[in-house]
Amino acid sequence: MVAQEAAGILPDGRPVTRWTFGSRGGVTAEVLSLGARLQALHAPDRDGQRANVVLGGGSVEDLLGDAAYLGATVGRYANRIAGGVLELDGTTHRLATQPTGHTLHGGPDGFATRLWDGVPVRADRQAGVRFRLGSPAGDQGFPGTLSAEVTYLLDPDGELSITYQAATDAPTVVNLTNHAYFNLAGEGRGTVLDHLLRVEAAGYLPVDRDLIPLGPVEPVAGTPFDLRHARRIGTLIATDHPQLHTAGGGFDHTWTLDGTGLRRAALLSHPATGRHIECLTTEPGLQVYTGNHFDGTLTGPSGRRYTAHAGIALETQHYPDSPNRPHYPSTVLRPGEKYRSRTVYRFTAG
């Protein structure tokens, strides 16, 4: 069953729609047309007690401000493009930039700020919503007219699948992801420092102070970035490592995932509640961000303020600044090709 209702009105008078779907007593999801956004996800703990485990904005207005990325589909290009400069087929494109001077998540008016067209969908045992968005040539400086599609499907076993597709009429770059922040204790209920995290990666990308990759993949062995076995987040980010300081007191880095195809990228667990998220993806990278810059300004649906490490983002994607790094996996999309990406979050408790 997919239920639809009004979620609010934007300052320009346009309505925002909310869809709710899932299993009674099990996992249920709420998505919004603003940013094709995962606004809430309710999951049971080991005792069957349900809680929302995704951070969200307290109001629609919040989602146009500091909470713009929470749960949103970000693009055209997730993560950073250095200096807002895109070199493609011998042509230099100047992209819209944030105050840092770089292009983040597609620019200041990226896909997270747009109203997407949504329709309920069902497939086998799954139900959810399919969103579509058109992005004209020159949007935030990107070449090519892009048609994008994001489909959320949830099954009765607690598996949330997010599938992305896109097509273009001229060469461009595409890198879409979901920017949900998880807290398995519950939204607004403390930090994720007591969570355990495992990432299936032998390498990661060190960054400069603007969070632009320094260059080559570095091995995780012997560093706090070695998450090939589950480790406590709070212990790791308390380590005196220069890359943790660079990122503002935690992780804000891309891990270069092992393997290809749909495979496990990460496992996040909360021992106190028994909740687990297994993240699988077809993408080559996983950006892990431990909410280092939450400062109490944002208030979530619970009415509680988000302080540092209130949630953790597991963003499946291509590498930052790939368009300017020929040795990174390509993000170029050409006419006649189809961009496809799939990420699955499996929610369990025990």
Displacement of CA 308 from its chain's centroid (Å): 18
Return the number of other C-beta atoms located less than 10 Å from residue 125's C-beta.
Answer: 12
Q: Which residue has the tokens 């990420």?
A: 343
Convert 245-296 into a string of H (helix), E (strand) and C (coil).
Answer: HHCCCCCEEEEEECCCCCEEEEEEEECCCCEEEEEEECCCEEEEECCCCCCC
Amino acid at 277: I
Q: How far apart are CA 243 and CA 235, in angstroms?
A: 15
Three-state DSSP class for residue 16: strand
Q: How far apart are CA 57 and CA 301, in angstroms?
A: 6
Three-state DSSP class for residue 155: coil
Q: How far apart are CA 289 and CA 178, in angstroms?
A: 13
Sheet harboring 231-232: ordered strands across? 117-123, 126-135, 146-154, 159-168, 339-349, 275-281, 263-270, 196-199, 231-232
Three-state DSSP class for residue 219: strand
Tokens of 280: 């699988």
HSE-up (13 A, CA, CB side) for residue 327? 7
- The catalytic residues are 179, 315
Q: How far apart are CA 187 and CA 56, in angstroms?
A: 8
Q: How far apart are CA 218 and CA 253, in angstroms?
A: 12
